[in-house]
Structure 1
């Protein structure tokens, strides 16, 4: 691991990556590499957890292609120096902010969207002029293998290198003195990454998770709410960091809501055979999720099959905040439904959880929307939809508190991997003597006049 880092640092210090055309060339290479090998990528991820070509393209590859295109189209403007006003005590001068790449970056990807959550931050890092060591998750082994094969076969290891492995390899990587660490995964592991980075004062971005609530009010469009909520929750079999984790529904429409959601699930016919559903990633997660399903509280679904790592889309009702499914992030195809009589009381209960990565409100009331969004702290969210905010690269994506540190996507991603260096360029044709020795009461009076404090 020391060798990988040393090779990249030596190359970074040549200043080659600071050239915009060099960065665009790396993005072009990655774009072509992925497009030329799409079938390999589809085959690998299907072997890992039966993710279809349709879902792999729409929820992973298309987002990467968009990020590359967005970066190429905007890179010159993102990298341009930003002019800033100069205060009077520095006059005559001009001030600006210069965007510098941080250096050698470690990116640790996640297993649930193994391509998108590995390559999207890598695109941002390369666009910002950094070199990248990428450590994909080892859980989807075939996708990790194909990423290593493609990247290491096409890129100079001085610029972009994939390192495979599990906990020992990741631990060794975290012991190195990188210039930036970007991690996507659980809050538990995020804390380990943060502690490791602190030893060398390495800046980090942590994209984590949490229990993201969805509020359903009595004045919502119930049919559209059910359609969008079911898609967002059961996409990737619920293994999505920004999926609605649980629902809070106004008690006066609870029964209608449950029926509408059930009808939508039946209509979609989620299954591997229909290529619109995936397996639970491994046996450990399968058993963890199975234990969250109390038979007496299943409104719909609940079927499991260990040999296929299959858990049917499941709706739980009569749930309280004390139930087992409310004690941790679910990260699976289980949707607890909690009814409320008073929205303010429901918001208070949600505030007892750590800050979520996302929050959703299905309502036609602007006052309710404002109340929820102004009261709760969370990473990002939507009104009358869920999950789709991740597709807008004009919005920074990230968490707050336990759900993450920092953000990326679009220009926010470029800034995530850049240092904003402040510069003042002074003229030499004039210099006021006020700050120099000897100090005097008259000079102090003039300084106070200039500063107007």
Structure 2
């Protein structure tokens, strides 16, 4: 079944129907209609999957999708246009440019925590770049997966953009097929399996993974505001966000203040009880519930700690005096647990961060520009936000992606288009100026190599006016004739 779907999508791509920009725009507009006409259905599916409120669905998924679609549609002509590059003397009268071309057939494997944004954002780029794509939503967010499979063929070209649902066996079968690009969002364990499968066909991959994103709070900052923003980022979607602050690093002197400010913020966000709040979510299933609960082993609970397995509910929980060897510090939490690890100073915090896998995101809160600059200069991560959390994700002008264990490749906005395109180098030569080619033809000599060095130096951009190009050529020719005349006369 999976093979037939893949073969059908590849055949549809090879028909050439996605080459015209107008076709791509039509598909993008259709995808936008799907989102706008079925917001209530999408919100209901997410309510069933993860107890997500309709407001959070709009905030965390749909607004970003609509923005990316509008951006792609309005800028597609510029993105897909040949890009002029600098020339040298030997190519002065030639056409030299980079032409973005479709890669072919992509496989998009979505994630369950944001099943619409993390599945459709890559699809937007695939459509804009002119690719076909097989869409595989996560089986864990089953209501969203079922709805996506129902709706997508009603709006998009169902041969070019088929949806395959199912679990691990279906995904494994898809990974046996040949694709021109694989886009996977999820954890690093599965990411390695995806990359291994892709290597059999030398298929390029984009891996959007995760990791333990640190959050350093400097004592010289507005701690109340810092904690308010961290509390939002950590407990939104019940902590199931790949760029949520995974743990806090701070000096011992401000740990109690941080706990108190988070307590005050939780009272503001969930005045009665998070369990009854429409704005607080649930863990995706009992398997992940048990995994998250086990991470608290040996930890001191400063706030929260309540749970209800029958509802997959875990309250917003803060753990203090957490030591580096604790289990909770060995893996990505992906749940509403916030450990606080104390460090003596900024240098120790930097050392702590650099001693672990490179995170998907890094957060630092400080008034001190020296502190901020040291964090930026002496650490590495997929992205950085200073004095806030997660907001770099909302800017489609910024590339989003990991580094090392947190992933490879990047997307959002034009970056998704570029990731899903082959940037083809094009040189359209003229038959003119053959005399310049003597420098590369045998028999070679010192003089010819010297001439080649002159001819092959990059000198100007191809967007320079023809008059300027011909002026340079005329000058070179005139100088050559003058030298030749002087040789004759002497």
Q: Which TM-score tier does this pair reach, normalised by the shorter chain?
A: over 0.9
Contact 2:88–2:455 (Cα < 8 Å) also in 1: no
1:354 & 1:257 partners in 2: Cα distance?
26
Contact 1:85–1:94 (Cα < 8 Å) also in 2: no
Contact 2:219–2:251 (Cα < 8 Å) also in 1: yes
Match of 1:152 in 2: 153
Match of 1:82 in 2: 83
What is the CA-CA distance between 1:449 and the residue it aligns to? 5.0
Counterpart of 1:408 (choices 387, 407, 411) is 411
1:165 & 1:214 partners in 2: Cα distance?
36
Contact 1:295–1:302 (Cα < 8 Å) also in 2: no
Match of 1:46 in 2: 47
What is the CA-CA distance between 1:295 and the residue it aligns to? 6.5
1:27 & 1:445 partners in 2: Cα distance?
53
2:457 & 2:288 partners in 1: Cα distance?
63
Larger Rg: 2
1:144 & 1:444 partners in 2: Cα distance?
63
Partner SS for 2:339? strand
What is the CA-CA distance between 1:323 and the residue it aligns to? 1.0
Partner SS for 2:274? coil
Partner SS for 2:108? strand
C-alpha deviations, 1:202-223, integer Å up to 9, x for none?
Answer: 0110000000000000111111
What is the CA-CA distance between 1:452 and the residue it aligns to? 7.5
Match of 2:70 in 1: 69
Unpaired segments of 5 or more residues in structure 2? Answer: 459-490
Match of 1:340 in 2: 343
What is the CA-CA distance between 1:317 and the residue it aligns to? 0.3
2:444 & 2:125 partners in 1: Cα distance?
50
2:301 & 2:30 partners in 1: Cα distance?
49
Partner SS for 2:439? coil
What is the CA-CA distance between 1:377 and the residue it aligns to? 1.1
Partner SS for 2:248? strand
Match of 1:238 in 2: 239
Partner SS for 1:307? helix
Contact 1:111–1:138 (Cα < 8 Å) also in 2: yes
Match of 2:451 in 1: 446
C-alpha deviations, 1:150-175, integer Å up to 9, x for none?
Answer: 01233332221110011111011111
1:135 & 1:280 partners in 2: Cα distance?
22
What is the CA-CA distance between 1:451 and the residue it aligns to? 5.2
C-alpha deviations, 1:280-303, integer Å up to 9, x for none?
Answer: 011111001111124650001001
1:146 & 1:16 partners in 2: Cα distance?
27
What is the CA-CA distance between 1:450 and the residue it aligns to? 4.2
Contact 1:81–1:99 (Cα < 8 Å) also in 2: yes
What is the CA-CA distance between 1:319 and the residue it aligns to? 0.7
**1:348-363 equivalences in 2 (<5 Å):** 348-363=351-366
What is the CA-CA distance between 1:259 and the residue it aligns to? 0.8
Match of 1:326 in 2: 329
Counterpart of 1:436 (choices 412, 433, 441) is 441
Q: How many residues are aligned here?
A: 453
* Divergent runs of 4+, >6 A: none
Unpaired segments of 5 or more residues in structure 1? Answer: none
Which piece of structure 1 moves more, 246-255 or 141-150?
A: 246-255
Distance change >3 Å, CA 74–CA 449, structure 1 → 2 = closer
Distance change >3 Å, CA 71–CA 131, structure 1 → 2 = same
Q: Is 1:215 aligned to 2:220, yes or no?
A: no
What is the CA-CA distance between 1:96 and the residue it aligns to? 0.5
Partner SS for 2:338? strand
What is the CA-CA distance between 1:75 and the residue it aligns to? 1.1
Contact 1:254–1:339 (Cα < 8 Å) also in 2: yes
Partner SS for 2:290? helix
Contact 2:298–2:326 (Cα < 8 Å) also in 1: no
Match of 2:395 in 1: 392
**1:29-428 equivalences in 2 (<5 Å):** 29-269=30-270, 271-294=274-297, 297-428=300-431
What is the CA-CA distance between 1:344 and the residue it aligns to? 0.4
1:412 & 1:226 partners in 2: Cα distance?
32
What is the CA-CA distance between 1:339 and the residue it aligns to? 1.5
2:88 & 2:311 partners in 1: Cα distance?
66
Distance change >3 Å, CA 444–CA 340, structure 1 → 2 = closer
TM-score (norm 1): 0.97
Partner SS for 1:423? strand
Partner SS for 2:43? helix
Partner SS for 2:357? coil
Partner SS for 1:86? strand
What is the CA-CA distance between 1:91 and the residue it aligns to? 3.9
Which piece of structure 1 moves more, 235-244 or 255-264?
A: 255-264
What is the CA-CA distance between 1:445 and the residue it aligns to? 4.3
Which piece of structure 1 moves more, 392-401 or 344-353?
A: 344-353
2:369 & 2:95 partners in 1: Cα distance?
45
